[in-house]
Structure 1
């Protein structure tokens, strides 16, 4: 029988950090109530992408109870068991890309009852969410460090740019009984930079112009630089024209930093600007230091918190506002608190943070031990 603590409702106000709250509620089993969702806006209540995310969450779980009032300004969510299995979902409604859905789904997938095989349709590249390329090149590599090293893959069947999308991806994630304890403290030196420049329904010359711009910005810093081209044609190019680039830097200790920038025709951005800004964003991530970039702070901290009853540590750059809120939510749902120490690099005088905590020994009871 669940304890009184587990059955006690947590109440939050407003629409901020919506995915965080539903994700942690699902993992912890604690019911959550979110009220005053844009109650004073001209268009109150849940937005399309938020309602769509709830539908996807409902497909993944069995026995969830979801109550939304008629204006959409109040949500009551009582989580069920995480089932997984073979699923398909259309994420086209709303303006968010597939990265918006994949970020929390990747946190849940290792703890499903059966291995997740998920097909998603929608916008693959666009907006402020991580692109599917960033998730494939960096996020999955990070998850491998925590024990998901077999059977984890993401395939991009079609690309879809904003606003109409039309892309499709396939995600396969194995289940795991328990995560590994990870200590990521050594940043190392950047040894190579890789990237991918894509185009959909525009001239392939756009991708080459992006690459030339990236090279002009990055060549003074490193010689081992290679950027691939993915020019999508016909059915694989989605429904809207667009182009962009994803860059990753890998250090001698296996740390990966990422940056991305996309554009659609309505942006009226030049490919040269896209390449230059993406390169500058990558250099900025490297300069921040740490063993993780800003995009992946919350994923790494969650995995450490859910790990075995041993101390896990990670070195990061400055924490984003999203990560600070996530740490507060971790305390609410799991009673987990991180110890934060400042660390100064002797060579560069840059300060980074070391976050450490004792794992709560989160175990996937549906996965049999071998």
Structure 2
């Protein structure tokens, strides 16, 4: 009989992140997992379309046997086979985030046997998830620190409630991931950003978001360059507005933040929200932002050697990611409050040093 690692899907943050990390680590390490009580505390418990499509996508990449993969299911069993390269598609048929689909599939693609091309459809700029711009501008550079990379092309934007966005991602496998030392901050060399409107929304709304962000960031940086633009209707026919910010520190580390517009919320307030989030990270001296914290946990767990990151407040999402990584990958994470600097924490892990068994020595 197959021996599963049993995971409580209601623990800590209790959301879809538990599924994404559990399934990804299962596929990469070749260990079966059973996730129960899926999203038990949510208003609509069980698998939604976005979660189901992520499971199906990773399942196809590793030829998994999956039980319980249906809308509303509160328990799944996932028994992986070998990871493969090739072309794969996933469509949420909603505004479900393509960035969250990528979170599940990207680490699997890195440990496959050949290059992977992903065709992902759904929401490109969705609430409660990283915007694809954050993945391309900020997270990609963080992933580079581990010795990995991906290429992203945005073919069409998809917004709430229709979705319909289309993003392609190309990934080449790696032999192993390198541990990271993201501990040095330094002065802010520049803040850059993009403030956008789409559909019938006026361009002055984008300028209002940029102005709001600048108001928050001027006390910590004088060099701020935020591009304001209106998306082409052929790429983004529906209404949406939002802002993405990224800043580079003297050490080379990068921090990001973003915000999406909402009905009856003025543009300046949207920009201030993104600017304030970045300003808080800069004030406490974080070297990695709160939005990227939880995303790097799986890579720290798999990497060779010790990884250390300096951050501010450790989010519940990050603690959840660490808990699942410890259960499935059998590694240990530690959080140390910095004894010399207030409001700073250091997250450390000695990773598995996993070698991609699918690659030949010549690759």
TM-score, normalised by the number of residues in structure 1: 0.88
Structure 1 residue 314 displacement after superposition: 2.2
Alignment check: 8 A CA contact 2:192 2:247 kept: yes
Cα distance change on mapping 1:47 and 1:296 into 2, 3 Å: same
Cα distance in 2 for partners of 1:144, 1:40 equals 36
User: Which residue number in structure 2 is paired with residue 143 of structure 1?
Assistant: 143
Runs of 5+ unmatched residues, structure 1: none
Alignment check: 8 A CA contact 2:310 2:344 kept: yes
Alignment check: 8 A CA contact 1:258 1:285 kept: no
Secondary structure of 1:234's partner?
Answer: coil
User: Which residue number in structure 2 is paired with residue 99 of structure 1?
Assistant: 99
Cα distance in 2 for partners of 1:307, 1:21 equals 17
Deviates more, 1:37-46 or 1:202-211: 37-46
User: Which residue number in structure 2 is paired with residue 262 of structure 1?
Assistant: 260
Cα distance change on mapping 1:113 and 1:229 into 2, 3 Å: farther
1:88 aligned to 2:84?
no
Cα distance in 2 for partners of 1:120, 1:217 equals 34
Cα distance in 2 for partners of 1:41, 1:314 equals 31
Cα distance change on mapping 1:144 and 1:54 into 2, 3 Å: same
Secondary structure of 1:365's partner?
Answer: coil
Runs of 5+ unmatched residues, structure 2: none
User: Which residue number in structure 2 is paired with residue 273 of structure 1?
Assistant: 269
Alignment check: 8 A CA contact 1:261 1:274 kept: yes
User: Which residue number in structure 2 is paired with residue 111 of structure 1?
Assistant: 111
1:313 aligned to 2:303?
no
Cα distance in 1 for partners of 2:69, 2:131 equals 33
User: Which residue number in structure 2 is paired with residue 289 of structure 1?
Assistant: 285
Structure 1 residue 44 displacement after superposition: 4.9
Cα distance change on mapping 1:355 and 1:40 into 2, 3 Å: closer
Residue correspondences, number: 354
Question: 1:81-112, CA deviations, whole angstroms, 9 ceiling, x for partnerless residues?
Answer: 2213222322233x532122122222222112
Structure 1 residue 39 displacement after superposition: 6.5
User: Which residue number in structure 1 is paired with residue 127 of structure 2?
Assistant: 127
TM-score, normalised by the number of residues in structure 2: 0.90
User: Which residue number in structure 2 is paired with residue 331 of structure 1?
Assistant: 326
Question: 1:108-143, CA deviations, whole angstroms, 9 ceiling, x for partnerless residues?
Answer: 221122112112121111211000000000110011
Cα distance in 1 for partners of 2:118, 2:170 equals 6
